[in-house]
């Protein structure tokens, strides 16, 4: 048994499924290319080709609709394992999967989405989300036309936009009768007026292709509007999105932390003469375990889509998201300490994980916004009591 295999058994709790086994087979090729994508700032396109070849883009869609029938927990495990091989592939793919998951929830609840899921199962288009940056306010402008709207907006952090097929987004609209609204809709990347800015040059997650997507008077027909809500106000659909999406997204960062811990522990075993190492390793394991336990609890809350869209779930998910993000960052930081100076070299692999894991902070909600949201929620609950 190799050192790496031995440490993975110690530090990674892998959910056993055919999908997880598949990632372990194709993952080594992703790892070989990870540093090159990071250095050259190129999208992980070859990895996406492999994921499509194995129908992982359709894995989470129910079998009766032509998909792979993988559970929500299975897809979380897939993304977590992907991060062991390539952080950018894991995070970018989580953005597709969380949109699929939201529609699976709707389908399970008898609220439609069957046609969309069948299309994804058959064609495996890449679904690109802009929801995180938009949050309650959204951005851009919509102008009414006879059969729909003309939309102009800049949508940043659009992961996978390099190869995107369908943009799932929103924009504000000043309705003359109903006031400030936000319309949610999808548009194909082939739409007239849609362009990709190629501006993704960042500290970490450099292979995700998370460019800004620019819409210039893109036509959105009335029938493409799937949700309309009051601008700036929390809508129950966020309870669904957050509950299914955040376990998938944070799975990428848990996987990064696990991989960093593997590297650090394998390195430490080669220099056992350092008397402080057991303490540092135990501290690293404590923070990693904190991340793993709270992430598993996020998956429990999602309950494979068997949940109601109540705000208590959003509160619980967001609380755990902050804890998981902080714990993953702390784990990788401690791994760098354990590795010592060699961890500072790009060729060693930890330095890239250290940069990538800091992306965990920027998914919704960022810590201060989460504290405000959850603090107000708890105060309201106390007043009700």
Domain 129-230 has CATH 1.10.3720.10: no
Report d(CA 266, CA 367) in Å as an integer: 33
Which range among 43-57, 264-278, 314-328, 338-352 shows the weakest confidence by mean pLDDT? 264-278
- Residue 282's pLDDT is 96
pLDDT classification of 145: cutoffs 50, 70, 90: very high
Residue 143 bridge partners (DSSP) = 150
pLDDT classification of 132: cutoffs 50, 70, 90: confident
- Residue 381's pLDDT is 86
pLDDT classification of 15: cutoffs 50, 70, 90: low
Report d(CA 367, CA 313) in Å as an integer: 17
Report d(CA 382, CA 385) in Å as an integer: 5
- Residue 103's pLDDT is 97
CATH fold group of domain 3-125: Butyryl-Coa Dehydrogenase, subunit A; domain 1 (1.10.540)
Residue 4 has pLDDT above 70, yes or no: no
Report d(CA 217, CA 213) in Å as an integer: 13
- Residue 11's pLDDT is 61
The average pLDDT across 242-255 equals: 98
pLDDT classification of 271: cutoffs 50, 70, 90: confident
- Residue 13's pLDDT is 54
Residue 382 has pLDDT above 80, yes or no: no
- Do residues 315 and 373 touch, judged by C-beta distance below 8 A? yes
Count CB neighbours of 114 within 10 A: 15
- Residue 72's pLDDT is 97
pLDDT classification of 3: cutoffs 50, 70, 90: very low
Contacts 24+ apart (CB under 8 A), 112-121: 114/65, 117/61, 117/62, 117/65, 117/67, 118/65, 118/66, 120/57, 120/58, 120/61, 120/67, 121/58, 121/61, 121/65, 121/66, 121/67
Please state at what angle helix 237-268 crosses helix 311-339, rounded to 10 degrees.
20
What's the mean per-residue pLDDT of the chain? 94
pLDDT classification of 365: cutoffs 50, 70, 90: very high
The position carrying tokens 């800049």 is: 154
Closest CA to 107 of 65, 51, 79, 137: 65
pLDDT classification of 309: cutoffs 50, 70, 90: very high
> Given this chain, do its domains 3-125 and 129-230 carry the same CATH topology?
no
Q: What is the pLDDT of residues 192-225, one digit of tens each?
A: 999 999 999 999 999 999 999 999 999 999 999 9
Which range among 71-75, 178-182, 215-219, 342-346 shows the weakest confidence by mean pLDDT? 342-346
The average pLDDT across 158-185 equals: 97
Report d(CA 326, CA 263) in Å as an integer: 20
- Virtual CA dihedral for 312, 313, 317, 319, nearest 10 degrees? 10
Angle at 127 between CA 122 and CA 133, to 5 degrees: 165
The position carrying tokens 């932390």 is: 257
CATH fold group of domain 237-384: Butyryl-CoA Dehydrogenase, subunit A; domain 3 (1.20.140)
Residue 16 has pLDDT above 80, yes or no: no
Residue 126 has pLDDT above 50, yes or no: yes
Residue 1 has pLDDT above 50, yes or no: no
Strand order in the sheet with 179-188: 127-129, 166-175, 179-188, 225-230
Closest CA to 328 of 301, 365, 355, 303: 355
User: To the nearest whole percent, how much of the chain has pLDDT over 70?
Assistant: 95
Burial code of 349-385, b = ≥16 C-beta within 10 A, e = fewer? bbbbbbbbbbbbeebbbeeeebeebbeebeeeeeeee
The average pLDDT across 271-298 equals: 92
Which range among 173-177, 270-274, 377-381 shows the weakest confidence by mean pLDDT? 270-274
**Domain residue ranges in the chain:** 3-125, 129-230, 237-384
Residue 62 has pLDDT above 70, yes or no: yes
- Residue 275's pLDDT is 79
């Amino acid at each position: 048994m190799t050192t790496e295999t031995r440490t993975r058994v110690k530090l990674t709790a892998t959910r056993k499924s055919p999908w997880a086994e598949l990632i372990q087979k194709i993952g080594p090729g992703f790892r070989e290319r990870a540093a090159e994508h990071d250095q050259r700032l190129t999208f992980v396109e070859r990895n996406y080709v492999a994921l499509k070849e194995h129908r992982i883009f359709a894995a989470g869609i129910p079998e009766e609709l032509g998909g792979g029938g993988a559970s929500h927990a299975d897809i979380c495990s897939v993304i977590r394992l992907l991060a062991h091989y390539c952080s950018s592939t894991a995070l970018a793919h989580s953005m597709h999967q969380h949109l699929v998951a939201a529609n699976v929830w709707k389908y399970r609840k008898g609220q439609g989405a069957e046609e969309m899921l069948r299309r994804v199962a058959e064609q495996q288009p890449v679904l690109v989300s802009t929801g995180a940056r938009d949050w309650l306010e959204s951005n851009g402008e919509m102008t009414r036309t006879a059969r729909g709207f003309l939309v102009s907006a800049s949508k940043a952090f659009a992961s996978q936009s390099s190869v995107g097929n369908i943009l799932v987004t929103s924009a504000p609209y000043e309705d003359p009768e109903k006031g400030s609204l936000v319309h949610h809709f999808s548009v194909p990347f082939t739409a007239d007026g849609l362009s990709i800015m190629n501006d993704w040059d960042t500290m970490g997650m450099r292979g995700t292709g998370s460019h800004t997507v620019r819409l210039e008077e893109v036509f959105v027909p009335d029938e493409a509007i799937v949700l309309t809500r009051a601008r700036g106000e929390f809508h129950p659909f966020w309870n669904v999105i957050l509950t299914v999406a955040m376990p998938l997204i944070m799975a990428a960062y848990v996987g990064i932390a696990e991989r960093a811990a593997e590297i650090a522990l394998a390195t430490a075993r080669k220099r056992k003469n350092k008397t402080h190492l057991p303490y540092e390793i135990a501290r690293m394991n404590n923070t990693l375990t904190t991340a793993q336990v709270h992430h598993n609890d996020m998956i429990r809350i999602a309950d494979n889509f068997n949940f109601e869209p109540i705000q208590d779930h959003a509160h619980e998910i967001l609380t755990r998201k902050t804890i998981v993000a902080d714990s993953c960052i702390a784990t990788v930081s401690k791994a760098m300490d354990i590795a010592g100076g060699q961890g500072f070299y790009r060729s060693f692999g930890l330095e890239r994980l250290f940069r990538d894991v800091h992306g965990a902070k920027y998914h919704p909600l960022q810590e201060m916004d989460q504290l405000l949201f959850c603090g107000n929620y708890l105060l309201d609950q106390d007043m009700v009591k």
